[in-house]
């Protein structure tokens, strides 16, 4: 009978309440000792709320419950899995049990009979019966009974059988024996007293007894194998006067009585483990009626299977996405317990899914020590931002995940709520992306924004920031700040003659030497080219800046060997101090730069303090540099030729070309601008113009028929150091003839 109910429920995937009632009605009519024929679907903890809401379509006050005994039921506590009665026929005597989780014990029982039977049914994929238990349903309260479970299976998306619930029979043992006895008496057998024990364990469990406890030679027993590896012992004892023993035939009469009792026990055994032909016939007839009444059942099943096939395809795709996603995906139930942990999460956090699913909250990964979050407080804090956004919105936050081995990984975590069809939040999903490379790249970008790429010294941006902070600290503590502007003497000559690779190596060596000259808390920055600025913080006396400058002169001037070349590079240093020489960063750097030029004019390889009259000299120098640039642009350079005569013969023997600047009709002699041209580098343009103009003038004199005499042209040291200088002179002479 239970097998038939199981097949029906598997065929219709649980079906409907009305369909179930129609199917089991004939069984209940033929077996009045049945307390209930039921269907107990498997419901996970995360599905509970949705399942209860849907079930209220049939039972408005439906809830998953557990029993306190005496027919009293209370709301079931949260668990991973429930097996509640969704159907329990006849419903009029089982209404209170609708929703009762049959896997929970009615009262404390160390043997856990229901759970044991359920586990046996699942392990064997067949029917299993409990040991004798005390029933709690209304008609059977206090009566001994058993529950038979038949597992129900359906294929999942991979075609594997998955448990989706149980078909259940609840049997009142005493009523079953009385019914069997009445059936035997109806067939003409005499009255007997029956007793029933479960002898599966070493200590028999009494199930029912109406017989006298004293042994009788007429008693007869039978052992019945019951599904679930259980064994029952049935004893039948005739009532007094039920059997007449003829004188002299004691043994024969005793044998006849035994035969009669054996026949009686056969009826009982048949009742327990078999079905009568008439019942089978009625069930088949009712099944045919049911199939006829539901003519569209097969079409409906086909549509359902097609839908499930499409669902399996979608779920296969979802699984593939989860397995192959580059992001760690972690989904939880409403309380925070992990339910989904994909492959990327396993690789990132070094945990297997088996270690975390159903056992951990993701807040554990936010803690360096992986301390448990037993009450979920830390998890609630993580997801609390979702309370202030819409249910379809997510929240992003940058956090650190800690792996099983203790490594910290910066991640961008996007969390959102999982909402069911009724709009209720049933869980959370978090998607975490490892941003270690992004953070490293960002740190590199930030470093490049503040540090010189060649020397790794602070650049101008960081220099101004740090100098400003040093000035603010000096204001607060009433001390001094020193600014040293360091320029390498004749570095351009080395760079131009030996190439930038040698010049770069030289700058890196100088940077290292400058670092070694500083005190703790001081700063050296590269302004660009061969210019450096040193900030001396918290000076108690101006002599501190002199001490640092002296160390720099000694260190930088020491011989340097680079790529087979030996160099001696000297620095010129200008010094300005807060608050005497300026109140802000820009002014201090400018005045230190001015003092540096004074050091160069005084012979280089020394340091000079800024003085007020230096501003006038700097201003004049800038005006002169501007005058040279404008003269080159506007063609206001001119050559004057100073003749050379032989005093003995009074003949012209040569001339010297001297450059002048014309400005508003006034000639500016070279002594007023050549030194500035040398320092600024403009001497290369001026020198080139002088050579080309002298060659042109010499060619003009030849064309005019004048005697050509040698011309002397002054050339700067920078011109002589230029690669290919001699070749350029030769080409110029060839061009001018």
Cis bond before residue 547 (omega within 30° of 0): no
Closest CA to 637 of 576, 578, 688: 688
Contact between residue 539 and residue 480 where contact means Cβ atoms under 8 Å apart: yes
Closest CA to 430 of 334, 330, 343: 330
Rg of the chain over all Cα atoms, to the nearest angstrom: 53
The residue annotated as part of the active site, out of 198, 530, 544, 581, is 530
Of all helices (H) and strands (E), which one includes residue 474?
Answer: helix 460-477
Closest CA to 639 of 567, 696, 709: 696
Local structure of 372: helix, strand or coil = coil
CA atoms within 13 A on the CB side of 305: 12
User: For helices 500-516 and 543-556, what crossing angle results, to 10°?
Assistant: 140
Q: Is 694 exposed, middle or buried (0-12, 13-18, 19+ CB in 10 A)?
A: buried
Determine the distance from the C-alpha atom of residue 554 to the mean position of all C-alpha atoms in its chain, rounded to a whole number: 55
Handedness of CA 291, 294, 295, 296 (dihedral sign): negative
* Helix (H) and strand (E) counts in the chain: 23, 30
User: ∠ CA(375), CA(376), CA(379), 5° rounding?
Assistant: 160
Closest CA to 608 of 573, 580, 579: 573
Cα 266 to Cα 183, 240, 343, 560: the distances in Å are: 11, 22, 59, 114
CA atoms within 13 A on the CB side of 428: 24
CA atoms within 13 A on the CB side of 509: 20
Q: Rounded to an integer, what distance in angstroms lies between the CA atom of residue 52 and that of residue 541? A: 83
CA atoms within 13 A on the CB side of 152: 24
Helix%, strand%, coil% for the chain, nearest 5: 45, 25, 30
Contact between residue 50 and residue 29 where contact means Cβ atoms under 8 Å apart: no
Other C-beta atoms closer than 10 Å to the C-beta of 510 total 23
φ/ψ region of 723 (left if φ > 0, alpha if ψ in -120 to 50, else beta) reads: beta
Q: Rounded to an integer, what distance in angstroms lies between the CA atom of residue 41 and that of residue 120? A: 17
Handedness of CA 187, 188, 189, 193 (dihedral sign): positive
Closest CA to 589 of 654, 527, 651: 527
- 520 Cβ contact partners less than 8 Å away, ≥ 6 residues apart: none
607-609 and 571-578 as β-strands: parallel, antiparallel, unpaired?
parallel
Local structure of 570: helix, strand or coil = coil
530 is catalytic: yes
Contact between residue 660 and residue 670 where contact means Cβ atoms under 8 Å apart: yes
Q: Rounded to an integer, what distance in angstroms lies between the CA atom of residue 577 and that of residue 261? A: 123
CA atoms within 13 A on the CB side of 66: 12
Handedness of CA 558, 561, 562, 564 (dihedral sign): positive
Handedness of CA 541, 544, 545, 550 (dihedral sign): positive
Q: Rounded to an integer, what distance in angstroms lies between the CA atom of residue 440 and that of residue 451? A: 16
* DSSP-H helix ranges across 517-580: 543-556
Give the residue numbers annotated as catalytic, written as ranges.
530
């Amino acid at each position: 009978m239970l097998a038939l109910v199981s097949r029906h429920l598997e065929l219709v995937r649980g079906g409907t309440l009305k369909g179930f009632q129609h199917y089991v009605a004939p069984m209940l009519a033929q077996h009045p000792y049945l307390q209930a024929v039921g269907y107990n679907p498997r419901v996970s903890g995360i599905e509970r709320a949705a399942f209860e809401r849907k079930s209220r379509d049939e039972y408005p006050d439906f809830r998953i419950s557990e029993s306190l005994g005496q027919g009293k039921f209370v709301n079931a506590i949260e668990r991973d899995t429930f097996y509640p009665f969704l159907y329990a026929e006849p419903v009029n005597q089982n209404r209170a049990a609708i929703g009762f989780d049959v896997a929970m014990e009615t009262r404390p029982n160390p043997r856990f009979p229901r759970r044991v039977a359920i586990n046996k049914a699942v392990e064997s994929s067949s029917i299993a019966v409990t040991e004798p238990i005390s029933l709690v349903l209304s008609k059977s309260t206090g009566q001994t009974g058993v529950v038979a479970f038949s597992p129900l299976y359906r294929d999942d998306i991979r075609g594997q059988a998955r448990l989706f619930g149980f078909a259940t029979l609840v049997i009142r043992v005493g009523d079953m024996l009385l019914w069997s006895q009445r059936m035997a008496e109806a067939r003409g057998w005499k009255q007997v007293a029956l007793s029933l024990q479960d002898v599966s364990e070493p200590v028999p469990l009494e199930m029912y007894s109406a017989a006298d406890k004293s042994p009788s030679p007429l008693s007869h027993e039978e052992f019945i194998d019951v599904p679930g590896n259980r064994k029952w012992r049935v004893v039948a004892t005739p009532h007094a006067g039920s059997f007449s023993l003829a004188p002299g035939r004691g043994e024969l009469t005793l044998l006849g009585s035994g035969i009669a009792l054996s026949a009686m026990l056969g009826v009982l055994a048949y009742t327990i483990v078999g079905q009568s032909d008439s019942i089978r016939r009625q069930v088949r007839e009712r099944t045919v009626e049911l199939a006829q009444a539901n003519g569209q059942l097969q079409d409906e099943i086909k549509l359902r299977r097609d839908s499930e096939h499409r669902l399996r395809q979608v779920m296969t795709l979802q699984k593939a996405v989860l397995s192959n996603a580059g992001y760690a995906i972690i989904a939880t139930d409403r309380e925070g317990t992990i339910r989904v942990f994909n492959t990327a999460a396993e690789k990132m956090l070094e945990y297997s899914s088996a270690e975390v699913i159903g056992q951990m909250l993701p807040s554990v990964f936010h803690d360096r020590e992986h301390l448990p979050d037993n009450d979920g407080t830390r998890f609630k804090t993580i997801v609390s931002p979702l309370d202030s956004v819409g249910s379809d919105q997510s929240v992003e936050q940058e956090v650190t995940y800690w792996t099983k081995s203790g490594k910290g990984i910066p991640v961008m975590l996007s969390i959102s709520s999982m909402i069911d069809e009724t709009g209720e939040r049933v869980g959370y999903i978090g998607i975490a992306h490892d941003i270690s490379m992004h953070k490293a790249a960002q740190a590199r970008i930030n470093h490049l924004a503040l540090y010189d790429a060649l020397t790794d010294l602070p650049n101008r941006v960081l220099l101004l920031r740090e100098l400003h902070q040093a000035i603010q600290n000096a204001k607060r503590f009433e001390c001094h700040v020193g600014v040293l502007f360091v320029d390498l003497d004749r570095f351009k000559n080395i760079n131009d003659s030996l190439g930038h690779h040698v010049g770069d190596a030289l700058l890196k060596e100088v940077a290292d030497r400058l670092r070694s000259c500083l005190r703790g808390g001081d700063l050296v920055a590269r302004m660009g080219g061969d210019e450096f600025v040193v900030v001396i913080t918290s000076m108690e006396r101006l002599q501190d800046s002199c001490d640092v400058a002296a160390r720099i002169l000694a260190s930088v001037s020491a011989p340097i060997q680079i790529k087979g070349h030996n160099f001696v590079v000297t620095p010129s240093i200008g010094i300005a101090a807060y608050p005497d020489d300026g109140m802000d960063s820009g002014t201090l750097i400018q005045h230190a730069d001015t003092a540096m030029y004074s050091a160069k004019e005084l012979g280089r390889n020394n340091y000079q303090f800024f003085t007020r009259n230096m501003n006038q000299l700097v201003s004049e120098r800038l005006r002169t540099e501007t005058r040279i640039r404008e003269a080159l642009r506007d063609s206001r350079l001119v050559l004057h030729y100073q003749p050379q005569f032989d005093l003995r013969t009074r003949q012209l023997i040569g001339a010297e070309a001297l450059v002048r600047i014309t400005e508003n009709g006034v000639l500016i002699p070279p002594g007023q601008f050549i030194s500035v041209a040398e320092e600024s580098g403009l001497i290369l343009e001026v020198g080139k113009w002088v050579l080309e103009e002298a060659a042109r003038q010499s060619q003009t004199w030849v064309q005019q028929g004048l005697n050509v005499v040698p011309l002397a042209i002054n050339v700067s040291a920078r011109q002589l150091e230029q690669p290919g200088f001699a070749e350029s002179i030769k080409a110029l002479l060839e061009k001018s003839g």
